Structure 1
């Protein structure tokens, strides 16, 4: 799934709350906006369900029609594979 953020601060707030136990997170920049690409391994999730993740995502981000193909072709990958964890490391208060 891919979601769009109005500003980087919204993304940082989400990263503080969303601790993936099983998945991949990539952060992209495209046309002045930030996009989080999540790949969840739902069968390996124990602490959070898919619905929990979706509820958090809907509070801090927006649905988007931008696809992974568009991001990989025209976007700039800022963080790869562990974007949420890296964001907590570098931007935690």
Structure 2
């Protein structure tokens, strides 16, 4: 009985241990990447040149996307057709 109470208390307190983990990237490279992503999100690192697509470019892009649905999806991919994988 005493053991089950101890186990119950331990299981109840266990999720609280996750609160001690600091959020965010730990490595220096991860922190630098996070800073660049935040600059992009905030719009502070945006280009001065607005990039737009012409109506013809948008139409061709949409047509390529629609054409991609005309190709059948094979049930299985053959290794010889897709590339080489290292076999050990």
Q: Decide: shared fold, TM above 0.5.
A: no
Structure with the greater alpha carbon radius of gyration: 2
Greater fraction strand: 1
Say which structure is richer in helix: 2
TM-score, with structure 2 as normaliser: 0.17
Q: How high is the TM-score relative to the length of structure 1?
A: 0.17
